[in-house]
Chains A and B, each alone.
Chain A
Amino acid sequence: MIRFAEKNTAISGVGMSDVSRGATRSALALTVDAALEAIADAGLTRADIDGIATWPGERADGSGFSPVGCAALQDALRLEVNWYAGGGEAPGQYGAVFNAIGAIAAGLCRNVLIFRTMYEATARKTAYANSLLREGQRQAGPFSWYAPYYTYAAALQQALFFNLYVHKSGITPEQVGQIAVNQRRNAALNPKAIYKTPISLDDYLASPIIATPLRLYDCDVPIDGAAAIIVSRMDVARGLRNQPIRIEAIGSSMRYRNSWTQLAELDTQAQPRVAEMMWGRTDLKPADVDIAQLYDGFSFHTINWLENFGFCERYGAKDFIEGGRRIALDGDLPVNTGGGALSGGRLHAYGAVHEACTQLWGRAGARQVKGDPRICATSTSGGPLAGAMLLVRD
Protein backbone atom coordinates (compact mmCIF):
# COMPACT_ATOMS: atom_id res chain seq x y z
CA MET A 1 0.00 0.00 0.00
CA ILE A 2 1.23 3.46 -0.86
CA ARG A 3 1.08 5.64 2.20
CA PHE A 4 2.62 8.78 0.80
CA ALA A 5 1.84 10.33 -2.56
CA GLU A 6 5.45 11.05 -3.47
CA LYS A 7 6.16 7.31 -3.59
CA ASN A 8 3.92 7.13 -6.64
CA THR A 9 6.11 9.59 -8.56
CA ALA A 10 9.55 9.53 -10.15
CA ILE A 11 11.88 11.78 -12.08
CA SER A 12 11.93 10.44 -15.62
CA GLY A 13 14.11 13.00 -17.41
CA VAL A 14 16.31 16.04 -16.86
CA GLY A 15 17.57 18.89 -18.99
CA MET A 16 19.84 21.90 -18.65
CA SER A 17 20.56 24.81 -20.95
CA ASP A 18 23.94 26.38 -21.45
CA VAL A 19 24.90 28.03 -18.19
CA SER A 20 26.93 31.22 -18.40
CA ARG A 21 27.91 34.52 -16.86
CA GLY A 22 26.22 36.31 -19.73
CA ALA A 23 23.98 34.58 -22.25
CA THR A 24 23.74 35.52 -25.88
CA ARG A 25 20.19 34.18 -25.99
CA SER A 26 17.04 35.07 -24.11
CA ALA A 27 15.89 33.58 -20.83
CA LEU A 28 12.95 31.98 -22.63
CA ALA A 29 15.26 30.45 -25.24
CA LEU A 30 17.33 28.90 -22.45
CA THR A 31 14.18 27.61 -20.80
CA VAL A 32 13.02 26.01 -24.04
CA ASP A 33 16.43 24.31 -24.35
CA ALA A 34 16.22 22.84 -20.86
CA ALA A 35 12.57 21.79 -21.25
CA LEU A 36 13.02 20.09 -24.64
CA GLU A 37 16.11 18.29 -23.38
CA ALA A 38 14.23 16.99 -20.33
CA ILE A 39 11.24 15.88 -22.40
CA ALA A 40 13.49 14.05 -24.88
CA ASP A 41 15.59 12.58 -22.07
CA ALA A 42 12.45 11.02 -20.61
CA GLY A 43 11.59 9.60 -24.04
CA LEU A 44 8.49 11.77 -24.22
CA THR A 45 7.16 14.35 -26.65
CA ARG A 46 5.55 17.71 -26.01
CA ALA A 47 2.15 16.05 -26.35
CA ASP A 48 2.88 13.86 -23.33
CA ILE A 49 3.35 16.81 -20.96
CA ASP A 50 0.10 17.43 -19.11
CA GLY A 51 1.32 19.61 -16.26
CA ILE A 52 3.77 22.49 -15.68
CA ALA A 53 5.22 23.74 -12.42
CA THR A 54 7.85 26.27 -11.45
CA TRP A 55 9.06 28.25 -8.45
CA PRO A 56 8.61 31.16 -7.83
CA GLY A 57 6.75 31.94 -11.05
CA GLU A 58 7.38 34.80 -13.41
CA ARG A 59 8.71 37.97 -11.82
CA ALA A 60 8.83 40.70 -14.42
CA ASP A 61 10.96 42.94 -12.22
CA GLY A 62 14.14 42.99 -14.27
CA SER A 63 16.09 41.20 -11.53
CA GLY A 64 16.57 38.03 -13.54
CA PHE A 65 15.48 36.06 -10.47
CA SER A 66 12.66 34.34 -12.30
CA PRO A 67 12.11 35.82 -15.73
CA VAL A 68 10.07 32.90 -17.14
CA GLY A 69 6.85 31.48 -15.73
CA CYS A 70 4.43 28.72 -16.66
CA ALA A 71 2.46 30.79 -19.12
CA ALA A 72 5.46 31.91 -21.18
CA LEU A 73 6.83 28.39 -21.44
CA GLN A 74 3.42 26.88 -22.14
CA ASP A 75 2.90 29.24 -25.05
CA ALA A 76 6.44 28.86 -26.37
CA LEU A 77 6.02 25.08 -26.52
CA ARG A 78 2.25 25.24 -27.15
CA LEU A 79 1.73 22.66 -24.43
CA GLU A 80 -1.77 21.47 -23.61
CA VAL A 81 -1.89 20.73 -19.91
CA ASN A 82 -4.49 19.83 -17.30
CA TRP A 83 -2.79 21.69 -14.49
CA TYR A 84 -0.09 24.27 -13.85
CA ALA A 85 1.29 26.22 -10.90
CA GLY A 86 4.03 28.74 -10.33
CA GLY A 87 4.34 30.50 -7.01
CA GLY A 88 6.85 31.54 -4.42
CA GLU A 89 4.96 30.76 -1.22
CA ALA A 90 6.21 27.21 -0.89
CA PRO A 91 8.84 25.16 0.99
CA GLY A 92 11.67 26.70 -0.98
CA GLN A 93 12.47 25.97 -4.57
CA TYR A 94 11.27 22.37 -4.38
CA GLY A 95 7.77 23.67 -3.74
CA ALA A 96 7.17 23.22 -7.47
CA VAL A 97 8.03 19.51 -7.19
CA PHE A 98 5.81 19.06 -4.15
CA ASN A 99 2.94 20.72 -5.99
CA ALA A 100 3.47 18.38 -8.93
CA ILE A 101 3.32 15.37 -6.61
CA GLY A 102 -0.04 16.61 -5.39
CA ALA A 103 -1.32 17.17 -8.90
CA ILE A 104 -0.31 13.65 -9.91
CA ALA A 105 -1.93 12.21 -6.78
CA ALA A 106 -5.10 14.13 -7.61
CA GLY A 107 -5.23 12.46 -10.99
CA LEU A 108 -4.63 15.71 -12.84
CA CYS A 109 -1.34 14.83 -14.54
CA ARG A 110 0.91 12.00 -15.62
CA ASN A 111 4.02 13.91 -16.71
CA VAL A 112 4.78 17.30 -15.17
CA LEU A 113 7.43 19.59 -16.64
CA ILE A 114 9.14 21.42 -13.78
CA PHE A 115 11.65 24.16 -14.48
CA ARG A 116 13.69 26.96 -12.95
CA THR A 117 15.18 29.77 -15.01
CA MET A 118 17.59 32.42 -13.83
CA TYR A 119 18.97 35.39 -15.77
CA GLU A 120 20.78 37.15 -12.99
CA ALA A 121 24.16 37.39 -14.68
CA THR A 122 22.72 39.59 -17.41
CA ALA A 123 20.44 41.46 -15.01
CA ARG A 124 23.37 42.46 -12.84
CA LYS A 125 25.11 44.09 -15.73
CA THR A 126 22.32 46.64 -15.81
CA ALA A 127 21.07 46.76 -12.20
CA TYR A 128 23.23 47.24 -9.11
CA ALA A 129 24.01 43.96 -7.32
CA ASN A 130 20.88 41.94 -6.58
CA SER A 131 19.52 44.68 -4.43
CA LEU A 132 16.47 43.72 -2.43
CA LEU A 133 16.02 47.43 -1.88
CA ARG A 134 15.05 50.07 -4.43
CA GLU A 135 16.04 53.61 -3.72
CA GLY A 136 13.04 55.87 -3.42
CA GLN A 137 10.67 52.91 -3.08
CA ARG A 138 9.26 51.68 0.20
CA GLN A 139 9.82 48.06 1.04
CA ALA A 140 6.85 45.80 1.80
CA GLY A 141 6.68 42.22 2.98
CA PRO A 142 8.92 40.21 5.27
CA PHE A 143 12.05 42.20 4.43
CA SER A 144 10.41 45.48 5.38
CA TRP A 145 11.64 44.97 8.96
CA TYR A 146 15.19 44.96 7.63
CA ALA A 147 14.70 47.69 5.01
CA PRO A 148 16.12 50.75 6.82
CA TYR A 149 19.33 49.00 7.83
CA TYR A 150 21.24 48.84 4.54
CA THR A 151 20.22 45.21 4.12
CA TYR A 152 20.76 45.15 0.40
CA ALA A 153 21.12 41.42 -0.18
CA ALA A 154 20.10 38.07 1.27
CA ALA A 155 23.77 37.62 2.13
CA LEU A 156 23.24 39.94 5.08
CA GLN A 157 20.43 37.99 6.71
CA GLN A 158 22.33 34.79 6.08
CA ALA A 159 25.46 36.31 7.60
CA LEU A 160 23.44 36.99 10.76
CA PHE A 161 22.41 33.35 10.98
CA PHE A 162 25.85 32.00 10.10
CA ASN A 163 27.69 34.22 12.54
CA LEU A 164 25.54 32.77 15.32
CA TYR A 165 26.32 29.28 14.00
CA VAL A 166 30.05 30.04 14.10
CA HIS A 167 29.66 31.42 17.63
CA LYS A 168 27.84 28.31 18.87
CA SER A 169 29.73 25.62 16.96
CA GLY A 170 33.27 26.97 17.06
CA ILE A 171 33.78 26.08 13.39
CA THR A 172 36.92 27.67 11.93
CA PRO A 173 37.33 29.45 8.58
CA GLU A 174 39.70 26.64 7.56
CA GLN A 175 36.90 24.12 8.12
CA VAL A 176 34.22 26.22 6.40
CA GLY A 177 36.54 26.65 3.42
CA GLN A 178 36.48 22.92 2.70
CA ILE A 179 33.01 23.32 1.19
CA ALA A 180 34.18 25.82 -1.43
CA VAL A 181 37.44 23.97 -2.12
CA ASN A 182 35.68 20.60 -2.52
CA GLN A 183 33.07 21.99 -4.86
CA ARG A 184 35.61 23.75 -7.05
CA ARG A 185 37.51 20.47 -7.33
CA ASN A 186 34.27 18.77 -8.46
CA ALA A 187 33.44 21.61 -10.85
CA ALA A 188 36.74 21.08 -12.65
CA LEU A 189 35.26 17.77 -13.83
CA ASN A 190 31.92 19.25 -14.87
CA PRO A 191 31.90 20.68 -18.43
CA LYS A 192 28.91 22.90 -17.60
CA ALA A 193 30.39 24.45 -14.45
CA ILE A 194 31.14 28.17 -14.39
CA TYR A 195 34.37 28.12 -12.39
CA LYS A 196 36.71 25.22 -13.12
CA THR A 197 40.09 26.48 -11.94
CA PRO A 198 40.92 24.78 -8.62
CA ILE A 199 41.18 26.91 -5.50
CA SER A 200 43.26 26.17 -2.42
CA LEU A 201 42.32 26.74 1.17
CA ASP A 202 44.67 29.74 1.10
CA ASP A 203 42.73 31.14 -1.86
CA TYR A 204 39.55 30.72 0.16
CA LEU A 205 41.01 32.45 3.19
CA ALA A 206 42.27 35.29 1.00
CA SER A 207 38.88 35.89 -0.63
CA PRO A 208 37.23 39.13 0.49
CA ILE A 209 34.86 39.25 3.44
CA ILE A 210 31.37 40.19 2.28
CA ALA A 211 29.73 40.29 5.70
CA THR A 212 31.30 38.42 8.60
CA PRO A 213 31.72 35.48 8.52
CA LEU A 214 30.78 35.19 4.82
CA ARG A 215 33.59 35.34 2.31
CA LEU A 216 33.19 35.77 -1.42
CA TYR A 217 33.89 32.07 -2.00
CA ASP A 218 31.06 31.16 0.38
CA CYS A 219 28.56 32.74 -2.03
CA ASP A 220 27.01 31.09 -5.07
CA VAL A 221 27.52 32.58 -8.51
CA PRO A 222 24.68 34.30 -10.39
CA ILE A 223 24.24 32.91 -13.89
CA ASP A 224 22.02 32.84 -16.93
CA GLY A 225 20.57 29.39 -17.38
CA ALA A 226 17.66 27.03 -16.96
CA ALA A 227 17.14 23.51 -15.67
CA ALA A 228 14.13 21.26 -16.11
CA ILE A 229 12.98 17.91 -14.81
CA ILE A 230 10.06 15.68 -15.69
CA VAL A 231 8.17 14.19 -12.76
CA SER A 232 5.99 11.28 -13.88
CA ARG A 233 3.43 9.03 -12.25
CA MET A 234 5.26 5.86 -11.27
CA ASP A 235 3.47 3.49 -13.66
CA VAL A 236 4.17 5.89 -16.52
CA ALA A 237 7.81 6.32 -15.49
CA ARG A 238 8.32 2.56 -15.45
CA GLY A 239 7.52 2.39 -19.15
CA LEU A 240 9.98 5.11 -20.18
CA ARG A 241 13.59 4.92 -21.32
CA ASN A 242 15.32 5.93 -18.06
CA GLN A 243 15.19 3.88 -14.94
CA PRO A 244 12.82 5.84 -12.69
CA ILE A 245 14.39 7.92 -9.96
CA ARG A 246 11.79 7.56 -7.28
CA ILE A 247 10.87 10.41 -4.99
CA GLU A 248 11.14 8.30 -1.86
CA ALA A 249 10.27 11.02 0.65
CA ILE A 250 9.83 14.76 0.92
CA GLY A 251 10.07 17.34 3.67
CA SER A 252 7.79 20.32 3.16
CA SER A 253 6.73 21.38 6.64
CA MET A 254 6.25 24.82 8.17
CA ARG A 255 6.21 23.81 11.83
CA TYR A 256 8.15 26.85 12.94
CA ARG A 257 7.81 30.61 12.70
CA ASN A 258 8.26 31.46 9.04
CA SER A 259 10.10 34.69 9.67
CA TRP A 260 13.48 36.13 8.73
CA THR A 261 13.72 37.60 12.24
CA GLN A 262 11.68 35.43 14.62
CA LEU A 263 12.62 31.96 13.35
CA ALA A 264 13.30 30.15 16.62
CA GLU A 265 16.59 28.48 15.76
CA LEU A 266 18.43 31.07 13.71
CA ASP A 267 21.66 29.12 13.42
CA THR A 268 20.11 25.93 12.02
CA GLN A 269 17.49 27.84 10.02
CA ALA A 270 14.24 26.11 9.11
CA GLN A 271 15.84 22.82 8.19
CA PRO A 272 15.55 20.54 11.24
CA ARG A 273 11.77 20.10 11.19
CA VAL A 274 11.80 19.69 7.42
CA ALA A 275 14.47 16.98 7.56
CA GLU A 276 12.57 15.31 10.40
CA MET A 277 9.46 15.17 8.22
CA MET A 278 11.39 13.66 5.32
CA TRP A 279 12.92 10.90 7.45
CA GLY A 280 9.47 10.22 8.91
CA ARG A 281 8.21 9.20 5.47
CA THR A 282 10.80 6.53 4.68
CA ASP A 283 12.44 3.50 6.23
CA LEU A 284 15.80 4.69 4.91
CA LYS A 285 18.29 6.29 7.30
CA PRO A 286 21.05 8.87 6.85
CA ALA A 287 23.60 6.03 6.76
CA ASP A 288 21.90 4.62 3.65
CA VAL A 289 22.54 7.76 1.61
CA ASP A 290 25.21 7.41 -1.10
CA ILE A 291 25.54 11.03 -2.23
CA ALA A 292 24.18 14.40 -1.17
CA GLN A 293 23.31 17.46 -3.22
CA LEU A 294 22.81 20.00 -0.47
CA TYR A 295 21.66 23.54 -1.01
CA ASP A 296 24.59 25.91 -1.24
CA GLY A 297 23.30 29.37 -1.90
CA PHE A 298 25.98 29.95 0.70
CA SER A 299 28.39 27.30 1.89
CA PHE A 300 26.92 27.53 5.39
CA HIS A 301 23.65 26.13 4.06
CA THR A 302 25.49 22.98 3.12
CA ILE A 303 27.09 22.83 6.57
CA ASN A 304 23.66 23.28 8.15
CA TRP A 305 22.18 20.48 6.06
CA LEU A 306 24.95 18.02 6.90
CA GLU A 307 23.83 18.32 10.51
CA ASN A 308 20.12 18.70 9.98
CA PHE A 309 19.89 15.65 7.70
CA GLY A 310 21.70 13.70 10.43
CA PHE A 311 24.91 12.94 8.54
CA CYS A 312 26.68 14.22 11.64
CA GLU A 313 25.54 15.53 15.00
CA ARG A 314 24.61 19.10 15.89
CA TYR A 315 27.71 21.27 15.57
CA GLY A 316 29.61 18.20 14.36
CA ALA A 317 29.92 19.41 10.75
CA LYS A 318 33.25 21.03 11.51
CA ASP A 319 34.78 17.64 12.21
CA PHE A 320 32.88 15.99 9.35
CA ILE A 321 34.29 18.36 6.74
CA GLU A 322 37.74 18.81 8.32
CA GLY A 323 40.33 18.21 5.63
CA GLY A 324 37.57 17.67 3.04
CA ARG A 325 38.10 13.91 2.62
CA ARG A 326 34.67 12.69 3.68
CA ILE A 327 32.78 15.01 1.31
CA ALA A 328 35.06 14.46 -1.72
CA LEU A 329 33.99 12.43 -4.77
CA ASP A 330 35.75 9.39 -3.31
CA GLY A 331 34.72 10.12 0.28
CA ASP A 332 32.13 8.57 2.59
CA LEU A 333 29.49 11.06 1.49
CA PRO A 334 30.27 12.86 -1.77
CA VAL A 335 28.66 16.32 -1.52
CA ASN A 336 27.66 18.65 -4.37
CA THR A 337 29.41 16.50 -6.90
CA GLY A 338 29.00 18.83 -9.88
CA GLY A 339 30.42 21.88 -8.12
CA GLY A 340 27.11 23.00 -6.70
CA ALA A 341 25.91 26.56 -7.07
CA LEU A 342 29.16 27.93 -5.66
CA SER A 343 31.17 26.83 -8.69
CA GLY A 344 28.60 25.32 -11.04
CA GLY A 345 26.26 28.29 -11.05
CA ARG A 346 23.14 29.36 -9.26
CA LEU A 347 20.39 27.22 -10.74
CA HIS A 348 18.80 27.49 -7.34
CA ALA A 349 18.47 23.86 -6.24
CA TYR A 350 17.46 22.64 -9.70
CA GLY A 351 21.11 22.32 -10.65
CA ALA A 352 21.30 20.05 -7.60
CA VAL A 353 18.39 17.86 -8.75
CA HIS A 354 19.90 17.67 -12.22
CA GLU A 355 23.22 16.58 -10.76
CA ALA A 356 21.53 14.08 -8.44
CA CYS A 357 19.85 12.36 -11.39
CA THR A 358 23.01 12.55 -13.52
CA GLN A 359 24.90 10.70 -10.78
CA LEU A 360 22.14 8.19 -10.05
CA TRP A 361 21.92 7.35 -13.76
CA GLY A 362 25.69 6.93 -13.93
CA ARG A 363 26.13 9.65 -16.53
CA ALA A 364 28.50 11.97 -14.69
CA GLY A 365 31.60 11.11 -16.69
CA ALA A 366 34.85 12.16 -15.04
CA ARG A 367 33.07 13.15 -11.84
CA GLN A 368 30.96 9.99 -11.58
CA VAL A 369 30.90 8.70 -8.02
CA LYS A 370 32.14 5.11 -7.87
CA GLY A 371 30.14 2.24 -6.44
CA ASP A 372 26.89 2.76 -8.38
CA PRO A 373 25.22 5.37 -6.13
CA ARG A 374 21.48 4.77 -5.78
CA ILE A 375 20.33 7.06 -3.00
CA CYS A 376 20.68 10.84 -2.93
CA ALA A 377 19.53 13.35 -0.34
CA THR A 378 18.89 16.79 -1.74
CA SER A 379 17.69 19.99 -0.20
CA THR A 380 16.97 23.64 -0.54
CA SER A 381 16.92 26.33 2.06
CA GLY A 382 17.34 29.91 3.08
CA GLY A 383 16.26 31.35 6.40
CA PRO A 384 12.67 30.25 6.99
CA LEU A 385 12.45 28.39 3.69
CA ALA A 386 13.44 24.75 3.45
CA GLY A 387 12.53 21.71 1.43
CA ALA A 388 14.05 18.26 1.22
CA MET A 389 13.83 15.21 -1.01
CA LEU A 390 15.23 11.73 -0.90
CA LEU A 391 15.75 10.31 -4.39
CA VAL A 392 16.22 6.60 -5.06
CA ARG A 393 17.07 4.59 -8.16
CA ASP A 394 16.12 0.97 -7.57
Chain B
Amino acid sequence: MTEAPPRILPVIDRDSEAYWTWGREGRLAIHRCGDCEYYVHPPVPFCPQCESRKVAPEAVSGRGRVVTFTVNHKAWVPGLPVPYVLALVSIDEQDDVRIPCNIVDCATEDVTFDMAVEVVFEPSGDLWIPLFRPVQS
Protein backbone atom coordinates (compact mmCIF):
# COMPACT_ATOMS: atom_id res chain seq x y z
CA MET B 1 0.00 0.00 0.00
CA THR B 2 1.30 3.43 -0.89
CA GLU B 3 1.66 5.96 1.85
CA ALA B 4 -1.40 8.15 2.31
CA PRO B 5 -1.04 11.88 1.77
CA PRO B 6 -0.59 13.86 4.99
CA ARG B 7 -3.77 14.42 6.95
CA ILE B 8 -5.16 17.94 6.75
CA LEU B 9 -5.14 19.32 10.27
CA PRO B 10 -7.84 21.41 11.91
CA VAL B 11 -7.41 24.90 13.27
CA ILE B 12 -7.54 24.51 17.04
CA ASP B 13 -8.63 27.00 19.66
CA ARG B 14 -8.93 27.03 23.45
CA ASP B 15 -12.13 24.97 23.30
CA SER B 16 -10.93 22.29 20.89
CA GLU B 17 -7.30 22.04 21.99
CA ALA B 18 -7.83 19.17 24.47
CA TYR B 19 -9.71 17.09 21.90
CA TRP B 20 -6.84 17.25 19.43
CA THR B 21 -3.92 16.99 21.90
CA TRP B 22 -4.79 14.71 24.83
CA GLY B 23 -4.17 11.75 22.56
CA ARG B 24 -0.50 12.22 23.43
CA GLU B 25 -1.38 10.50 26.72
CA GLY B 26 -3.79 8.13 25.02
CA ARG B 27 -6.84 9.99 26.31
CA LEU B 28 -9.90 11.13 24.35
CA ALA B 29 -11.03 14.48 25.76
CA ILE B 30 -14.70 15.43 25.58
CA HIS B 31 -16.10 18.52 27.31
CA ARG B 32 -18.43 17.69 30.20
CA CYS B 33 -20.61 19.74 32.50
CA GLY B 34 -19.31 19.72 36.07
CA ASP B 35 -22.83 20.24 37.42
CA CYS B 36 -25.17 17.96 35.44
CA GLU B 37 -22.54 15.71 33.83
CA TYR B 38 -23.83 16.27 30.27
CA TYR B 39 -21.17 15.90 27.58
CA VAL B 40 -21.03 18.99 25.36
CA HIS B 41 -19.61 18.34 21.91
CA PRO B 42 -18.35 20.10 19.87
CA PRO B 43 -16.74 21.67 22.94
CA VAL B 44 -18.35 24.84 24.25
CA PRO B 45 -17.79 26.24 27.76
CA PHE B 46 -21.54 26.30 28.40
CA CYS B 47 -23.97 23.52 29.24
CA PRO B 48 -27.13 23.69 27.12
CA GLN B 49 -28.90 21.37 29.61
CA CYS B 50 -28.42 23.27 32.88
CA GLU B 51 -26.80 26.55 31.77
CA SER B 52 -23.73 25.89 33.88
CA ARG B 53 -20.44 27.48 32.85
CA LYS B 54 -18.46 24.74 34.62
CA VAL B 55 -17.79 22.76 31.46
CA ALA B 56 -14.31 21.37 30.94
CA PRO B 57 -12.55 18.58 29.03
CA GLU B 58 -12.64 15.15 30.63
CA ALA B 59 -11.18 11.85 29.45
CA VAL B 60 -13.80 9.34 28.27
CA SER B 61 -13.40 5.59 27.85
CA GLY B 62 -12.60 5.84 24.16
CA ARG B 63 -15.19 3.16 23.45
CA GLY B 64 -18.04 3.75 21.06
CA ARG B 65 -20.11 2.36 18.24
CA VAL B 66 -20.37 3.08 14.54
CA VAL B 67 -23.48 5.24 13.91
CA THR B 68 -22.89 5.34 10.18
CA PHE B 69 -20.05 4.96 7.72
CA THR B 70 -19.14 5.09 4.06
CA VAL B 71 -16.52 3.25 2.04
CA ASN B 72 -14.85 5.85 -0.15
CA HIS B 73 -13.69 4.57 -3.54
CA LYS B 74 -12.75 7.78 -5.33
CA ALA B 75 -9.15 8.98 -5.28
CA TRP B 76 -9.89 12.66 -4.68
CA VAL B 77 -6.22 13.64 -4.88
CA PRO B 78 -3.28 11.93 -6.56
CA GLY B 79 -1.83 9.12 -4.51
CA LEU B 80 -4.78 8.74 -2.16
CA PRO B 81 -5.01 5.03 -1.29
CA VAL B 82 -8.57 3.74 -1.67
CA PRO B 83 -10.85 2.33 -0.48
CA TYR B 84 -10.99 3.78 3.04
CA VAL B 85 -13.73 4.12 5.60
CA LEU B 86 -15.09 7.40 6.95
CA ALA B 87 -17.40 6.92 9.92
CA LEU B 88 -19.31 8.73 12.62
CA VAL B 89 -18.80 7.09 15.99
CA SER B 90 -20.91 7.85 19.05
CA ILE B 91 -19.18 7.50 22.41
CA ASP B 92 -20.43 4.92 24.90
CA GLU B 93 -20.90 7.58 27.56
CA GLN B 94 -23.48 9.59 25.56
CA ASP B 95 -25.20 8.69 22.34
CA ASP B 96 -25.44 12.20 20.89
CA VAL B 97 -21.69 12.83 20.95
CA ARG B 98 -20.57 11.86 17.48
CA ILE B 99 -17.00 11.83 16.26
CA PRO B 100 -15.93 11.70 12.62
CA CYS B 101 -13.05 9.31 12.07
CA ASN B 102 -11.45 6.72 9.85
CA ILE B 103 -11.96 3.12 10.90
CA VAL B 104 -8.56 1.40 10.93
CA ASP B 105 -7.18 -2.08 11.56
CA CYS B 106 -10.25 -3.50 9.83
CA ALA B 107 -11.01 -4.56 6.25
CA THR B 108 -13.39 -2.04 4.67
CA GLU B 109 -15.95 -4.78 3.97
CA ASP B 110 -16.00 -5.77 7.64
CA VAL B 111 -17.19 -2.41 8.98
CA THR B 112 -20.84 -2.59 10.11
CA PHE B 113 -23.48 -0.38 11.67
CA ASP B 114 -23.36 -0.47 15.49
CA MET B 115 -19.93 -2.09 15.43
CA ALA B 116 -18.13 -1.68 18.77
CA VAL B 117 -14.97 0.36 18.34
CA GLU B 118 -12.21 1.87 20.45
CA VAL B 119 -10.05 4.92 19.95
CA VAL B 120 -6.44 4.90 18.82
CA PHE B 121 -4.38 8.01 18.15
CA GLU B 122 -2.13 8.90 15.27
CA PRO B 123 0.36 11.72 15.70
CA SER B 124 0.25 14.32 12.96
CA GLY B 125 2.16 17.57 13.25
CA ASP B 126 1.55 18.90 16.75
CA LEU B 127 -1.79 17.10 17.08
CA TRP B 128 -3.01 13.60 17.92
CA ILE B 129 -5.74 12.45 15.58
CA PRO B 130 -8.46 10.18 17.03
CA LEU B 131 -9.12 7.10 14.89
CA PHE B 132 -11.19 4.06 15.79
CA ARG B 133 -10.65 0.34 15.38
CA PRO B 134 -12.77 -2.68 16.25
CA VAL B 135 -12.69 -3.41 19.99
CA GLN B 136 -9.83 -5.83 20.51
CA SER B 137 -10.25 -6.91 24.11
Contact = CB atoms under 8 A, between A and B. Distances in A.
A259 B42 contact: yes
A134 B8 contact: yes
Nearest to A165: B68
Contacts of A243: none
Interface in A139-160: 139-140, 144-153, 155-156, 159-160
Contacts of B135: none
Contacts of B5: 135, 150
A147 B5 CA distance: 13
Nearest to A261: B98
B53 interface: no
A295 interface: no
A160 B76 contact: no
A185 B113 CA distance: 35
A138 B42 contact: no
A28 B42 CA distance: 39
Given A138-B8, A262-B41, A150 B72 contact: yes
B21 to A, nearest CB: 13
Contact of B6 (A135, A261, A266): A135
A189 interface: no
A264 B11 contact: no
Interface of A: 128-129, 131, 133-135, 137-140, 144-153, 155-156, 159-161, 163-164, 167, 208-214, 259, 261-262, 264, 266-267
14 contacts: A145-B100, A146-B100, A148-B127, A149-B86, A151-B100, A152-B80, A164-B68, A167-B113, A211-B70, A211-B71, A261-B98, A261-B100, A262-B42, A266-B68
Interface of B: 4-11, 16, 41-42, 67-74, 76-78, 80, 84, 86-88, 96-102, 113, 124, 127, 129
